[in-house]
Chain A
Amino acid sequence: MLLDEEIIARVLAGDREAFEILVRKYSDPLYRHALGMTGSPDVAEDILQVSFIKAFQHLGEVRGRFDAWIFRILANGCKDWLKNIRRSHVSYEEDDQPSHYATPDDDLDRGQLRDDLDRALKALPATLREAFVMKHVEGRSYEEMGELLNTTVGALKMRVHRAREALQKLLGDRYNDAARQP
């Protein structure tokens, strides 16, 4: 298997099709991040496309790991989208559409938890949502998160803990009360 540096060298030498190797290699984790941050498959797809196109256009500027570099392009795209949608008066957090993670065989309770998690995540500030999504949806270690976000492990732990406590506040009353029922 070719190293990313070798693929990049081929693209920079004029082999545009080689870029598809990078697209296929990194699309899934990037798409999951965008979907976790925006909650919308269409928006996630758009941000993913724009991120890869930007990466292609600036490929000569890559220093270090390609996957970390394109992650930062995509993560910034997600945060910009969140800023814009909150500035506009779109009823984003009032969205009561079913979760985009739904599948036909979901039972009501599981589907309800999924919808509630979507709504609660949308209520989090971008930095906390990002930390939660990276830790709990993407399953990354704090060390890996630190490399991607250029932040310390301690700061990221604090963000993840705050995100959990915010979600606990948003979901806890409802679900903990239910869990206490005999």
Chain B
Amino acid sequence: MMLHDNPESRPETGASLDHTLRTPVAATPQLADDAESMAGTPLPDAVHRWLDGEPVSEELLAAPEAAPVAALWSALGRETARRRAVVTPPHVAALIMDRLETPVVRDD
């Protein structure tokens, strides 16, 4: 089976997140502003490819080093899909139009 980067259809990969700890991530460290100097935890290449929408076999994602990572990213995929459905509060368009003042002219 091939997997694609559709968060709605991301499969569970065997590991469950139902038993997550129930305390907040405490004192998240502020990472450096310089993205170059920031260190992270490497992800298996199969997970990056899967998240980039490339076809990846289910076996690769179910491998012991990939399965827990893929489970986390499946859960994050569901959360980011929810965020993708957020819309602008309805009053905002009228506020913007009320604040327009300066007439514009084409500069060419």
Mark A residues whose CB is within 8 Å of B.
11-12, 14, 16-17, 19-20, 23-24, 27-28, 31-32, 35-36, 41, 45, 48-49, 52-53, 56-61, 86, 93-94, 96, 101, 108-110, 112-117, 119-120, 122-128, 136-139, 142, 157, 159-162, 164-172, 174-176, 178-181
Contacts and interface: CB of A to CB of B under 8 A. Distances in A.
A120 B99 contact: no
A105 to B, nearest CB: 12
B47 to A, nearest CB: 8
B74 to A, nearest CB: 10
A165 B43 contact: yes
Contacts of A176: 68-69, 71-72
10 contacts: A12-B104, A28-B88, A35-B83, A48-B92, A139-B84, A166-B38, A166-B39, A172-B41, A172-B72, A178-B21
Q: By DSSP majority rule, is chain B's interface helix, strand, loop, or mixed? A: loop
B87 interface: yes
Interface residues of B, number: 61
B93 interface: yes
B103 to A, nearest CB: 8
Interface of B: 7, 15-22, 24-25, 27-35, 38-43, 48, 51-52, 67-69, 71-73, 75-77, 79-80, 82-84, 86-89, 92-93, 95-97, 99-100, 102-108
Contact of B48 (A86, A164, A172, A179): A164
B87 A28 contact: yes
A142 B51 CA distance: 12
Chain A CB within 10 A, most for which of B7, B25, B67, B92? B25
B82 A119 contact: no
Nearest to B104: A59
B21 A27 contact: no
A162 B108 CA distance: 42
Contacts of A101: 79, 82-83, 86
